[in-house]
Amino acid sequence: MAHGLSLVVLGALLLGPVQSLSGRVPGVEGRQIAPGNGPFGGGITILSDNHLDNKPKNGSAALLIHRQASYAAALNLCETLGEGLWNSNMAKFTDGLNNSLSYQSFIGAVSPGQLFWTGNSGNATADCRAMDIQGNTKPADCTLELPALCTQSAPVSSQANNTATSYLVNHQVGKQVYTGYRDAFVWKFRAIRYAAQPTRFEHSTLFEPNGATPIPALTSKADCLQRVGEVQSGSGEDCLFLNVWTPSLPQHALNSSQAAIKPSLKPVMFYVYGGGFTSGTSNNGNADGTNLASRGDVVAVTPNYRVSTLGWMAFDDGVHNGNYGLGDLINALTWVQKNIKDLGGDPEKVTIFGESAGAMLVRALLASPKAQGLFYAAISMSGPTGLSPNEHGSTSYYNSINFEFERTSKSILTKMGCWNATNQLACMRQVNATELIYIDNVANSLVQDGTLLTSRTLPLNSSTSGYTANVTFMTGTNRDELGVDIDPIPIDANLTDLFTRRLPGNVGDLSRFLRSPLFSPTSPSPQDILNATIRIATDALYTCLEQATSYTASRHNAFKEVYSFQFNRTYNPPGYTKPHCDAPKTSDRPNGDPDAEYFKCHAGEKMIVFGNVLRAGLKDRDGLDVRFMQLAVDYWSAFARKRDPNPERGYLQARGYWGTLEETERVGRWVEAKEAGWRLLQWGGRQQGVVEGAQCEALGLGVGYFEGR
Ligand SMILES: *[C@@H]1O[C@H](CO)[C@@H](O)[C@H](O)[C@H]1NC(C)=O
Ligand SMILES: *[C@@H]1O[C@H](CO)[C@@H](O)[C@H](O)[C@H]1NC(C)=O
Ligand SMILES: *[C@@H]1O[C@H](CO)[C@@H](O)[C@H](O)[C@H]1NC(C)=O
Ligand SMILES: *[C@@H]1O[C@H](CO)[C@@H](O)[C@H](O)[C@H]1NC(C)=O
Ligand SMILES: *[C@@H]1O[C@H](CO)[C@@H](O)[C@H](O)[C@H]1NC(C)=O
Ligand SMILES: *[C@@H]1O[C@H](CO)[C@@H](O)[C@H](O)[C@H]1NC(C)=O
Ligand SMILES: *[C@@H]1O[C@H](CO)[C@@H](O)[C@H](O)[C@H]1NC(C)=O
Ligand SMILES: *[C@@H]1O[C@H](CO)[C@@H](O)[C@H](O)[C@H]1NC(C)=O
Ligand SMILES: *[C@@H]1O[C@H](CO)[C@@H](O)[C@H](O)[C@H]1NC(C)=O
Ligand SMILES: *[C@@H]1O[C@H](CO)[C@@H](O)[C@H](O)[C@H]1NC(C)=O
Ligand SMILES: *[C@@H]1O[C@H](CO)[C@@H](O)[C@H](O)[C@H]1NC(C)=O
Ligand SMILES: *[C@@H]1O[C@H](CO)[C@@H](O)[C@H](O)[C@H]1NC(C)=O
């Protein structure tokens, strides 16, 4: 899918060149490294008050040291981090630290009466002072053992630069120490290897290091080799890394005479990128996990997985069956199960979520018995579940290996000169990987391989045979997905040539629906023709079968609960160039007016659920973009926390998330799909029943589509 490609271009632009760190660990000599096995035992939480405006108030943040120590020892611990004790003379408690501490008490990390060491204006001879969660300070016995609040001077690290050489941390994960870093909001560990370099066309294997030397996890590493437009991205096939963003490093390795507070582990959000199965990267700045992890108080994880022919080519030898990229994700999830608690994440509360092809992979993980027990909830965002030119006419169904072999593998073998080889696999392992990704017909499809995917499609009826993960599922789309692929209509266009010429070429001729009064444009104006075209294509490729999925899954209890949504407020990310996907610019709202009509295209929800609109340098168009992002991040992280998108009142109050509290009380609960269908997500959202009902029926894709299949 062409639109997937621009994601990666964007990722590359935002991240800058990938730097190799082999052979050196930058900054190790600095005192900013807090040794994971040293006096902290690792336990440090970044307290930040993140309103997604990308401008934390000075003093709103602090570092909470879990270990309880005397005043002098606490001061020493802060200094080890290159900080001092947080000081009410230098920063205002109510600039956000009040929110952070009331929240720490709300989650039970500290008791309501807990005292913390804070500073005394840098006057070492003054009384030792301690502060409570209301911000009252008082002198305290210097030998008391208390957790400390250190200053937090780490800046917002830009997504253009992850090569910071200060604010480093050494932290043990499994048996290996990694060097990560801290910014204003979270700890970051980039490019942790989760699988050994895979053998081409084999499933990857989990990587479990136990080296004595810390491994730097400071910059992104290579994308999985792919072609983005005419450009190669990724340098090779050694690409199975993941990134972790976490608000809290748990303590470990304290000896029994050292007391420490013990914040509970946080839910994990594991994001699967899209890119049409042919491109994509965990390093895309739009899906940077900083804001989601910090505002949502979750641990965000983004893995790379193999794409294009290297990720999906199936042979007919009965052994090399494709689905390598899916196997990579299962390994990454296994890595999470084994290791994420060392980074503050709860392995029993893993939510997988993905966009576009990433949503299709989420759906595949739901259907994969090999992924059983690796996650407890799933979110599918903008999965193209609808019509497609594959074996079963819909991407909701997996091709057979035979079909896929005939459709793509044969021509790949031929083009690479391996068709007549005595050993096609051996021949394909010899070919130049760059040349392999540059041929036109590449593998980009899941297959029913009998191991990772054992059924033809995700079973949506709990009574039918086949594996479906017993988890909570949330699924949805944007209102006008296909606007992303359809060019503006020229002024002189006429109706007859439009549908055949402008729909994405691979779903067959939908032009007959033009004659249906259900779709026909209200006028022959280019805007109305464009609208009708986008509408048919969006219904056919996205909306209808998404609705059918939640309808049948709800009726037949395929999952614990099903929630569904439709975004009617989007922000078109940079690099997505269709002008009709942008809110129109007016003199009042020069950055776009979201109250006006525009197409809510594919990918337009992504920066919103990651809270990254301002982080990416875009403007709040109408004063509601930031508030809507706050709401979306609060919905998504509530779902990760308790498998229900409605944030608890007490949570919002404790954190001082007053904007979300006000809006959620105004718009009411987001209820399960079986009760009231889709949740309309916009400012002033609400439940809405089935949309495009008659249109979907006319397309043969009504809500009952999956019934009885
Ligand atoms: C925050 O305030 C402190 C104390 O006034 C000052 O030393 C520091 O430079 C300020 N930091 C920023 C980023 O303004
Ligand atoms: C923290 O203080 C600010 C400023 O006074 C206030 O708006 C906010 O409600 C307080 N937070 C909590 C959780 O009470
Ligand atoms: C430091 O505190 C001591 C004891 O409270 C006081 O006598 C002294 O004047 C203070 N020094 C400064 C520089 O504030
Ligand atoms: C990245 O950060 C380092 C250290 O702070 C700095 O020296 C370098 O100039 C930055 N690079 C970019 C591209 O911003
Ligand atoms: C345990 O911690 C205490 C207090 O920090 C320290 O004095 C002692 O040496 C430690 N013991 C061991 C075995 O590390
Ligand atoms: C394979 O070999 C056959 C017989 O020699 C030949 O006719 C055919 O062209 C070859 N195909 C390719 C793709 O090289
Ligand atoms: C692979 O092919 C590319 C493009 O033709 C070429 O630049 C590169 O040197 C080749 N690599 C090897 C290892 O032959
Ligand atoms: C799903 O898990 C719940 C417990 O969370 C259990 O009660 C239920 O029986 C399970 N359903 C299936 C179909 O396994
Ligand atoms: C529509 O445009 C096509 C060329 O794109 C032209 O061949 C055809 O005659 C036009 N039909 C009408 C009714 O104008
Ligand atoms: C969707 O958003 C547009 C503004 O872009 C608004 O005019 C329209 O009423 C919204 N749709 C619904 C169903 O509220
Ligand atoms: C598309 O047409 C529908 C139905 O007439 C209308 O509600 C919607 O506002 C139009 N969308 C745009 C972006 O013009
Ligand atoms: C669900 O599965 C059961 C058992 O196979 C079957 O009897 C029933 O007809 C199915 N329902 C639908 C709507 O597919």
Decide: helix, strand or coil at residue 455: coil
For residue 494 the two structure tokens come to: 């006429």
**Pocket lining for ligand 6, CB < 6 angstroms:** 414, 419-420
Residue-wise pLDDT for 224-277, tens only, equals 999 987 788 877 899 999 999 999 999 876 666 778 898 999 999 999 999 999
Amino acid at 245: W
> Would residue 195 be called left, alpha or beta, if left means φ above 0 and alpha means ψ between -120 and 50 degrees?
beta
Mean pLDDT over residues 386-406, rounded? Answer: 92
Question: Would you state the pLDDT for residue 503?
Answer: 55
Q: Tell me what the pLDDT averaged over the chain comes to.
A: 89
Mean pLDDT over residues 295-318, rounded? Answer: 98
Amino acid at 469: A
440 C-beta neighbours (distance < 10 Å), count = 7
CB 288 within 8 A of CB 610: yes
For residue 208 the two structure tokens come to: 């479990």
Ligand with minimal distance to 55 CA: 1
Mean pLDDT over residues 670-675, rounded? Answer: 94
The DSSP H or E segment spanning 673 is helix 673-676
Please, what is the end-to-end C-alpha distance for the chain in angstroms? 27
The CA distance from 642 to 381, in Å, is 19
| Ordered DSSP codes for 252-292 | ----TT--B--PPPEEEEEEE--STTT---TT-GGG-SHHH
Ligand with minimal distance to 95 CA: 2
234 C-beta neighbours (distance < 10 Å), count = 27
In the reported structure, the alpha carbon of residue 88 is separated from the centroid of ligand 3 by a whole-number distance in angstroms of 16
Q: Is 136 exposed, middle or buried (0-12, 13-18, 19+ CB in 10 A)?
A: exposed
Can you name the residues that pair with 386 across neighbouring β-strands? none
329 C-beta neighbours (distance < 10 Å), count = 29
Please work out whether the CB of residue 695 comes within 6 Å of at least one atom of ligand 11: no
Which residues does 123 contact at the CB level (< 8 Å), separation at least 6?
none
Mutate to test the pocket of ligand 9, among 496, 500, 514, 529 (most ligand atoms within 8 A of CB): 496
Ligand 11 atom at shortest distance from the alpha carbon of 580? 13
Question: Would you state the pLDDT for residue 100?
Answer: 97
Question: Would you state the pLDDT for residue 498?
Answer: 57
Top CATH class, 472-698: alpha beta
3-state SS record for 578-600: CHHHCCCCCCCCCCCCCCCCCCC
pLDDT class for 124, splitting at 50, 70, 90?
Answer: low
Please work out whether the CB of residue 90 comes within 6 Å of at least one atom of ligand 1: yes
Q: Is 516 exposed, middle or buried (0-12, 13-18, 19+ CB in 10 A)?
A: middle
Q: Where exactly are the structural domains of the chain?
A: 472-698
The CA distance from 407 to 399, in Å, is 10
Mutate to test the pocket of ligand 2, among 48, 97, 99, 105 (most ligand atoms within 8 A of CB): 99
Q: Which residue has the tokens 């030792």?
A: 128
